[in-house]
Amino acid sequence: MSVTALVDGVESSTIPVSDSAVLRGDGCFESIRSYDGRLFELGAHLDRMEVSARALGLVMPERARLEEWCRTVAATGDGVVRVLLTRGDAVGAAVPAERCIVLHVPVSRRATSVTLLPVEAPWHSAGRDWALAGTKTLSYAPNLASSRMAAIAGFDDALLIADDGTLLEGPTFSVAWVAGGVLETPALGLHILDSITRRIVLSLTHDLGIPVDEGRFHLDQLDHADEVVALSTVKEVMPVTAVGDRIYEPGPLARALQSAFERRIDAGLDLAGLG
């Protein structure tokens, strides 16, 4: 797999072992989809990264320069542009300076559906306020551990739940489902990630005439769901065919949202990236 990377705007495939991302997972990131060299919702992703950086006390690179770095690596083609902002060298530097890493990773063949194992997530805020609630920090070890737990149990990924059974999100994606003709999804007040894909899908439901309920739901609510979908930059709108022992079929809502999302991609690609 070919990876194109810039470190502070200079082409490089390495960072110092003393970097705070390596030693302490101290930083934030964004993942932005590129289609044929054009970025989808670049501005929205960088706006969200500014929120994460501010919460961590980090200074973002100048916006125009960062956009240029993203477009430079995205020119490789289809894939995901990952932007990482670290605190710089965690040891050996008298005054640490932020380090910005921008890399483009080609997208491997994408699955057409996903199965999920409910996993308790005691590390998740689940609505409790704290300084980094809802931010995209680099400290994803607990989330990835839940994904490995799901894989060992024979599932594709995890669905995070609070200790009281409240539905939250996937380790790297949001979830929504249809129950009684209403699209339901955990509310941002639970401090799930304010997913760009989730935002777009919720805006599309208005045009499709689908009512939406954002709230606090127990895992048992999925007993009444007709369809479940996972939403993310990489997954886009992906049908969920199982949550634990609950089985679902991809249905008309998933197909309608997939088609509408594809049209939204065509309308929202970054024209500035074209020569």
210/137 Cα distance (integer angstroms): 33
Q: Could you report the per-residue pLDDT of 98-121, keeping only the tens digit for each?
A: 999 999 999 877 789 999 999 999
Residue 272's pLDDT band (cuts 50, 70, 90): low
Q: What percent of the chain has pLDDT over 90?
A: 87
Which distant-in-sequence residues (6+ apart) come within 8 Å of 13 by Cβ? Answer: 3, 5
Query: What pTM value is reported for the model?
Result: 0.93
Q: Which residue has the tokens 């065919």?
A: 241
Domains, the chain, with CATH or none = 4-105 (3.30.470.10), 114-266 (3.20.10.10)
Sign of torsion over alpha carbons 9, 11, 12, 13: positive
Q: Could you report the per-residue pLDDT of 26-78, keeping only the tens digit for each?
A: 999 999 999 999 999 999 999 999 999 999 999 999 999 999 999 999 998 89
Tell whether the model's pLDDT for residue 204 goes beyond 50: yes
Provide φ and ψ at 268, rounded to 5°.
-110, 10
Structure tokens belonging to residue 142: 């607990």
174/261 Cα distance (integer angstroms): 15
Helix (H, G, I), strand (E, B) or coil at 65: helix
Average pLDDT of every residue of the chain: 93
Query: Which of 84, 9, 79 is closest to 37 using CA atoms?
Result: 79
243/251 Cα distance (integer angstroms): 16
